[in-house]
Structure 1
Amino acid sequence: MLMKTASQSLTEQLCARFADRIRNRLLAPGARLPSVRLCAEQQGVSVSTVVAAYDQLQAQGLVVAHKNRGFFVRDLASNMPFVHAGKAQLAIKTIANTPVDAAALIRGMFHPISDKPQPGMGVFPAQWLESSFMPAAVRKATGASALRDLSLNYGEPKGDSGLRRALSQRLGALNIHADPSQIITTVGATHALDIISRTLLRAGDYVMVEEPGWAVEFARLDALGMRILPVPRRADGPDLEVMAQYCQLHSPRLFVSVSVFHNPTGYCLAPGSAHRLLQLASQHNFHIAEDDTYSHLAPDHATRLCALDGLQRTIYVSGFSKILAPGWRVGFMAAPPELVERLLNTKLLATLTTPALLEKALAWCIEQGQLRRHAERIRTRLDQARARSVKLALAHGCTFAAEPAGLFGWVETGVDTDALAQRMLDEDYLIAPGALFHAVRKPSTLMRINFATTQEAAFWAVFARLRDGAYRL
């Protein structure tokens, strides 16, 4: 709670609290600040204190006021006032300069706001990933003259040949047949998606992306100047009718999809939808980037587009940061033979090569079966955490908008989760409000939770207390 001191007034403290969150992107551009009366009630101060604090924020260029609507966070990156978007329509439309800001979640990953488990994070807790075989793998890869050779020479352009052979065998278990020559290693899965976008697209091109979807992907494509076409994601797959209309009107060049354990819903692609989607891609001549980031959490028999398509119009993307070593940043893509050299050229222009030392260590982890056994332990632990988290969510009045599966839950709260997120920050919890997962930011009562970090009753007790005092949409 705010407390008046000799050195700082309540107004200055309240202004500083919001200013810090805005500058650190914990409040995204377009986010609406609590109403003056609600903020006064929440912070235990007078209405005049809030008015003065909001005036100071406006004077500092951090917020912009809209008559009869309230105060909204200004877009600092463009140095232009943010125009709050109205309710997004499901009709066909293009999205330019999308105001989605995923930086809050990313910054929270790098700089936790507290030592509490964070429900909005997109990764496993560090203690879950600890192992003895990873240090052993690094020692194995750096023995004798290997450390000198790997440090003083660039690695192979496509990535370590041993790792690519191991990945080829791993993909074979998923019924994705890719020769090692079709595989290119990258600095994580996000880097692979970026290479694909830079190779196949140019600024102004249309690209289809699932909605709700990964906040970083919306932001990344927008930064590249692409025109985003949001495709509603359903339980069985993307809305093919919407995609067909996009194809007729805009001739998109690419579709980005998470087929298995979709983020944030946890949906998995149904075989029938997969077949019809591939027919649409062939008919309208667009490629599909299949992001299988959560492959280690899913059964091998789960439907994957690349397995059905045989890597003709599809490009497979995955990595090991989620399941093994976030700091190693090892990802990869498997592509149609005719695209490999183009994709490789883009990689070389951006990063030259990727770290051979860590790639060799990872190859050893795969070949020795260590990664497989590690993934099995993580899946067992996640299943237990999910059961506890779901039980707590239901007990505290929430429901699930999608059947709980994988790492994330898509939770219906009944209140504006943008406003709730601001209140949760006061309690040192960073949540992921539903608005983050849309191409155009709009009020949402949904939030994404990480099952691994929401299995404690303490979080849900704070959540319920603040939710019950929030405005419902």
Structure 2
Amino acid sequence: MRNIFKLDLNNNNTTLVQQLVTAFTKAIQEKKWHMETKLPSVRQCAKLYNVSTFTITEAYNRLAAEGLIYAKDRSGYFVSSLNRKPEINDTEPALIDLPIDDYWLLTNIFDQTNKNTHFSCGWLPADWYPQEAIQKTLREVSKQDLGESGYGEPYGYYPLRKQLCQHLTDYMINVATNNILITQGASSALDIISSTFLRAGDAVLVDDPGYCNFLSSLRYKRMKLIGVPWSSQGPDIKKMEELIKQEKPRFYFTNPWLQNPTGASLSLDNAYKLLRLMEKYNIKIVEDNVSGDLMPQNSITLVSMAGLDQVIHIRSFCKTLQPNLRVGYIIANQSVLEQLVHYKMMTSLTSSELSERVVLSILRTGHYHKHIEKLRKKLAKAHIISANLLTSLGWELFTQPDTGYYLYARPKNSNIDSEKLTEQAKSRGIVLAHGRLFSPIHQSNSWVRFNVVYTMLGQNILKSFLSSLNK
């Protein structure tokens, strides 16, 4: 079978797997490949297109899932005799027409039909993750004995927790396995902690602006959100003490490093002031460090400065390795974890041991460390390009980090309302997140969150839209 098309190796918007699936699907639907035609073997096809066997295997698996091809034992892959040409709809899919609030953002941000215009989303393009390593590891792990119960361990897979103890030393965090609880991502960790220790009506300190999904979760639980104003150096310590005296909270939930949505990180001076203030008023800090692995090694954290008696620390692999693996973890003292694991088991029994084994394998091989180094460099480039684009269009940056996912920006010397801007963007199939979504009290403002990678990749689309606002 001859080479039917040429792969575009420089296409950052479409993965090699998707290019192959699209081309093979077209060949089948246009009858270039007839029913019951035998396809090249995985090795032959990999050689034909000069790609890895993992890429071809994934493409064949997707075609089989669509019913376009099927596999015969020891005979290879064949074009199915049952495939039908799907109905073609040339109309451009529209974003779901709901008020632009937290629910709208969640609903549309995961809509894959408009993924190239998701300029405010919270993840990376698929080919920015180590897909081949994950696919290879999944195949290897699937052959392992997953235990008698199949549910996994309440605290999470022990070998992974042991490996994490070693991994954390790179960030000056020294803990034992009984200080780690594996969760289904950082969002799950935040839910477990808030549900365990807080009740309806409790006052809780949060960042302002802060992580919109978690703020929505606290509102749903009827907590009293006390927003602490943030600057490029972190929280306003003076204002925070005033709020503490008024509201008497017991917890401060903060995302102090590469903060969502601002991208800012706590300064060392502010970190010391914050810890002294929390100790003075006996307030427990929940340090959401979901993007911690994107920080340089030996970066400070609140938990490394103050220890587990004062800080509950959260980390995750969702921002670096693969979001749908859903592996995060909580670091806390043993008495705290004993309470948290109880809630985890009541609501989800255990976390996915299959995903935990995949993460363990990738950590052990050293591939993760190499991937992170490359990812930091790529994000640094995306930050420069995105920051230059926004400032050239007359936008002011909250701060300018060199890693992480986000830039927070607003039109400079302009009366443009970010909510109206988001409405205009929605009408053009563009997803933007305005600043009110990140306000603990839903206060309107002119800020917008930008994902630096999608902003870089879609800069022509975004530039055209933002430029039109000034006309």
Match of 2:335 in 1: 338
Contact 1:260-1:302 at 8 Å conserved across structures: no
Match of 2:460 in 1: 458
Match of 2:369 in 1: 372
Match of 2:134 in 1: 134
Q: Distance in 2 between matches of 1:345 and 1:116?
A: 41
> Letter of the aligned partner of 1:419 in structure 2?
K
Contact 1:105-1:120 at 8 Å conserved across structures: no
Q: 1:331: Cα distance to partner? A: 0.8
Match of 1:440 in 2: 441
Match of 1:163 in 2: 160
Contact 1:269-1:303 at 8 Å conserved across structures: no
> Letter of the aligned partner of 1:231 in structure 2?
V
Match of 1:358 in 2: 355
Match of 1:202 in 2: 199
Match of 1:97 in 2: none
Match of 2:398 in 1: 401
Instruction: State yes or no: 1:428 paired with 2:429.
Output: yes
Q: State the secondary structure of the residue aligned to 1:327.
A: helix
Are the structure 2 counterparts of residues 276 and 395 from structure 1 closer, same or farther at C-alpha, using a change threshold of 3 Å?
Answer: closer
Match of 2:273 in 1: 276
Match of 1:58 in 2: none
Match of 1:307 in 2: 304
Q: State the secondary structure of the residue aligned to 1:119.
A: coil
Q: 1:460: Cα distance to partner? A: 3.0
Q: Distance in 2 between matches of 1:257 and 1:442?
A: 19
Are the structure 2 counterparts of residues 444 and 393 from structure 1 closer, same or farther at C-alpha, using a change threshold of 3 Å?
Answer: same
Trace 1:383-402 onto structure 2 (pairs within 5 A).
383-402=380-399
Contact 2:102-2:437 at 8 Å conserved across structures: yes
Q: State the secondary structure of the residue aligned to 1:221.
A: helix
Match of 1:21 in 2: 97
Q: Distance in 1 between matches of 2:308 and 2:459?
A: 45
Q: 1:113: Cα distance to partner? A: 5.0
1:110-169 Cα shifts (integer Å, max 9, x gaps): 21352523211111112211421112222222225x14x37x432111000011011111
Q: State the secondary structure of the residue aligned to 2:260.
A: coil
Trace 1:21-420 onto structure 2 (pairs within 5 A).
21-22=97-98, 27-28=99-100, 101-144=101-144, 146-147=145-146, 149=147, 152-405=149-402, 406-413=404-411, 414=414, 415-420=416-421
Structure 2: tracts of 5 or more residues without a match: 1-93
Are the structure 2 counterparts of residues 457 and 281 from structure 1 closer, same or farther at C-alpha, using a change threshold of 3 Å?
Answer: closer
Q: Distance in 2 between matches of 1:154 and 1:427?
A: 45
Q: State the secondary structure of the residue aligned to 2:286.
A: strand
1:288-343 Cα shifts (integer Å, max 9, x gaps): 11011111211123321000011111011011111111111111100022211011
1:42-62 Cα shifts (integer Å, max 9, x gaps): xxxxxxxxxxxxxxxxxxxxx
TM-score normalised by structure 2 residue count: 0.76
Are the structure 2 counterparts of residues 354 and 287 from structure 1 closer, same or farther at C-alpha, using a change threshold of 3 Å?
Answer: same
Are the structure 2 counterparts of residues 105 and 322 from structure 1 closer, same or farther at C-alpha, using a change threshold of 3 Å?
Answer: farther
The alignment of Structure 1 onto Structure 2 pairs a total of residues equal to: 373
Q: Distance in 1 between matches of 2:288 and 2:202?
A: 20
TM-score normalised by structure 1 residue count: 0.75
Q: State the secondary structure of the residue aligned to 1:116.
A: helix
> Letter of the aligned partner of 1:114 in structure 2?
N
Q: 1:437: Cα distance to partner? A: 1.1
Q: 1:448: Cα distance to partner? A: 0.9
Q: State the secondary structure of the residue aligned to 1:172.
A: helix
Which of 461, 468, 471 lines up with 2:470 in the alignment? Answer: 468
Q: Distance in 1 between matches of 2:156 and 2:459?
A: 45
Q: Distance in 1 between matches of 2:370 and 2:107?
A: 31
Q: Distance in 2 between matches of 1:436 and 1:366?
A: 35
Q: 1:180: Cα distance to partner? A: 0.8
Q: Distance in 1 between matches of 2:278 and 2:152?
A: 35
1:47-106 Cα shifts (integer Å, max 9, x gaps): xxxxxxxxxxxxxxxxxxxxxxxxxxxxxxxxxxxxxxxxxxxxxxxxxxxxxx422332
Q: 1:108: Cα distance to partner? A: 2.6
Q: Distance in 2 between matches of 1:428 and 1:246?
A: 41
Are the structure 2 counterparts of residues 137 and 117 from structure 1 closer, same or farther at C-alpha, using a change threshold of 3 Å?
Answer: same
Structure 1: tracts of 5 or more residues without a match: 1-16, 29-100
Match of 2:8 in 1: none
Contact 1:270-1:303 at 8 Å conserved across structures: no
Structure 1 residues 243-252 or 185-194, which shifts more? 243-252
1:252-308 Cα shifts (integer Å, max 9, x gaps): 011011121111211111222112211222221121110111112111233210000
Contact 2:109-2:118 at 8 Å conserved across structures: no
Q: 1:451: Cα distance to partner? A: 0.5
Are the structure 2 counterparts of residues 115 and 345 from structure 1 closer, same or farther at C-alpha, using a change threshold of 3 Å?
Answer: closer
Q: Distance in 2 between matches of 1:102 and 1:154?
A: 33
Contact 1:268-1:303 at 8 Å conserved across structures: no
Q: Distance in 2 between matches of 1:327 and 1:265?
A: 24
Q: 1:404: Cα distance to partner? A: 3.8
> Letter of the aligned partner of 2:305 in structure 1?
L
Contact 2:117-2:431 at 8 Å conserved across structures: no
Contact 2:117-2:454 at 8 Å conserved across structures: yes
RMSD: 1.8
